[in-house]
Amino acid sequence: MVNSQNVKTSFFNLNWKLLPLKIHYFLTDCSNVPILSFLSTMSKQRGYSPFAVGIILTISPLPSLVMRPLFGAIVDKYKCPKLALMTTIVIGFMTVCALMLMPGPVVYGKIDDDVVFRTPLFWLYLTTIVIFHTTISIRGMVEDTICVNLLGDDKHKYGEQRVWGSVGWGTISIISGACVDWFSKGQKHKNYLPCFITSLTLYALDFYDVSKIKIVQKQENSIIKTDLKKLFMTLFTTYKVLIFIFWIIILGFFDSFIMYFYFWYLEDLSNIYHPETKPWIKTIQGLTLTIQCFGGNFPFFYLSSFILKRVKAEYVVSSVFLTFAVRFFLYSVIENPFWVLPVEFLNGITFALALSTIISYMCRSAPTGIEATVMGIIYTALYGIGVPIGSFVGGYLFNRFGSIFSFKILSGMAVTSCVLHIVVTQLTNRLSKPKNSEEEAR
């Protein structure tokens, strides 16, 4: 196994072998944020209802259920993570071009769902987003595979690499939001062209950077030579891992509301309570992401290594559920979009700490040499099962109850999840004590 300590230099104690990876995390999130963050509001501007958008966001991650584990197994078998990563960047570039050039109406209000679902353009739009989401999900799995490969024994330092994605996300979000508002001056609708141009430029830069990443080939593990069934039998040797995967799905469920319906909620606040903020709502939305990344994700990606050395992963997950409950409740009582800004510091716990905990725990629970397969399982549970379920439920809740009251319902669900998680954790710990099982994810 490669120990990342061997590649450090004395110049500011910088690991130069990890530098291209850090730059990639920065650029890949920079290229994604102009599209992903505004996807729901782009769809809303096309006249699609919350239910129609929920359908789009439910279907779009489903192909990843198959594609992530499949690509994970292929990457592990043929040792081609770099080629796979560069391929996803090219496909992502092409889908952004397709979205930019796709014709579509600009509508105020909603088009009847029956009319929308009979329109070929809707299904073309849906198909393009499905390809875009699938590509992003595979890229995330492959880049994290490369990351844990390069880290070697220091997998708990994953957050210190992934934090640069948050830096990129936070930097470009405010810039892209401000550009949309600037280019939309005097128009009745928002002009998203700056988002597409920014995304395409950063995709090109990312492709060049990935070509410079040096992949370290580990000694082949005998388990890779076994069939897929035996591989999964080895991965899931304890019921605690299976239970942990279930909680990953629940985390993905809650995360979907931040990913896809949060901007919709901010626009509702602006329209209902403070219409004077409408001309700069995209800037406000971008600023919330900047705070999420620099005020929340940045410190917690770095602190995750310190925390996970001292606190069991199960206890960290309980705190994440509780934080989701607090965050959703605050959304349900806030009326001014600007007052949402302080709440976004909590994203460091609900995203950065949560993701670092999941990856650290699962990688330590799995044999060496199958990192891509493990990442495929993680991302399938989180974004292939949890997020689609949350997207479907979110579309229904927003359509039935509105965005503000929906977050009150979600707060109650998060509290319930926290209590259930604590109870289940205590029960599983008691059951495992007589067997003198090792402490996990410390």
pLDDT, one tens digit per residue, over 6-40 is 444 443 456 777 888 899 999 999 999 899 888 88
**Sign of the torsion formed by the C-alpha atoms of 317, 318, 319 and 322:** positive
Q: Which of 101-105, 198-202, 368-372, 391-395 has the lowest mean pLDDT?
A: 368-372
Structure letter (DSSP) for residue 276: G
Q: How far is CA 181 from CA 37, 176, 339, in A?
A: 15, 9, 20
364: which residues sit within 8 A by CB, 6+ positions away? 155, 440, 441
pLDDT band at residue 232 under the 50/70/90 scheme: low
CA gyration radius for the chain?
A: 21
pLDDT, one tens digit per residue, over 195-229 is 999 999 999 999 999 998 887 665 555 444 444 45
Is the confidence at residue 235, as pLDDT, over 60?
no
Percentage of the chain surpassing pLDDT 90?
A: 34
**Sign of the torsion formed by the C-alpha atoms of 399, 400, 406 and 410:** negative
Mean pLDDT, rounded, for 306-334:
92
Structure letter (DSSP) for residue 259: H
Distance between CA atoms of 345 and 271, rounded to whole angstroms? 24
Give the pLDDT confidence score for residue 258 in this predicted structure.
92
Give the pLDDT confidence score for residue 421 in this predicted structure.
94
**Sign of the torsion formed by the C-alpha atoms of 419, 421, 427 and 433:** negative
Is the confidence at residue 390, as pLDDT, over 50?
yes
Distance between CA atoms of 115 and 82, rounded to whole angstroms? 44
CB 28 within 8 A of CB 168: yes
More confident residue, 259 or 369: 259
Is the confidence at residue 317, as pLDDT, over 90?
yes
Give the pLDDT confidence score for residue 98 in this predicted structure.
94
Q: Give the phi and the psi of residue 149 in degrees, each rounded to 5.
A: -65, -45
Give the pLDDT confidence score for residue 440 in this predicted structure.
46
The per-residue b/e assignment along 188-201, b for 16 or more CB within 10 angstroms, e otherwise, is: eebbbebbbebbbe
More confident residue, 230 or 254: 254
Mean pLDDT score of the chain, rounded to an integer? 83
The token pair at 385 is 């099962």
**Of the candidates 116, 67, 104, 103, which has an alpha carbon nearest to the alpha carbon of residue 87?**
67
Mean pLDDT, rounded, for 350-372:
77
DSSP string spanning 376-440? HHHHIIIIIIIHHHHHHHHHHHHHHH-HHHHHHHHHHHHHHHHHHHHHHHHHHHHHHGGGTPPP-
**Helix H segments across 292-386?**
298-308, 313-333, 347, 354-365, 371-379
CB 234 within 8 A of CB 408: no
pLDDT band at residue 309 under the 50/70/90 scheme: confident
Percentage of the chain surpassing pLDDT 70?
A: 85
Give the pLDDT confidence score for residue 240 in this predicted structure.
74
Which domains, ranges and CATH numbers included, belong to the chain? 16-435 (1.20.1250.20)
This prediction has a pTM of 0.75
pLDDT, one tens digit per residue, over 411-442 is 999 999 999 999 998 888 787 665 444 444 44
Give the pLDDT confidence score for residue 223 in this predicted structure.
46
Give the pLDDT confidence score for residue 46 in this predicted structure.
84
Is the confidence at residue 373, as pLDDT, over 80?
no
pLDDT band at residue 44 under the 50/70/90 scheme: confident
CB 409 within 8 A of CB 390: no
CB 168 within 8 A of CB 298: no
CB 308 within 8 A of CB 442: yes
DSSP string spanning 47-79? T--HHHHHHHHHHTTTTHHHHHHHHHHHHHHHT
pLDDT, one tens digit per residue, over 104-161 is 765 555 678 788 888 888 999 999 999 998 999 889 888 888 887 888 767 667 777 8
Give the pLDDT confidence score for residue 70 in this predicted structure.
82
Is the confidence at residue 66, as pLDDT, over 90?
no
DSSP string spanning 141-163? HHHHHHHHHHHBT-GGGHHHHHH
214: which residues sit within 8 A by CB, 6+ positions away? 17, 20
Q: Which of 181-185, 271-275, 300-304, 429-433 has the lowest mean pLDDT?
A: 429-433
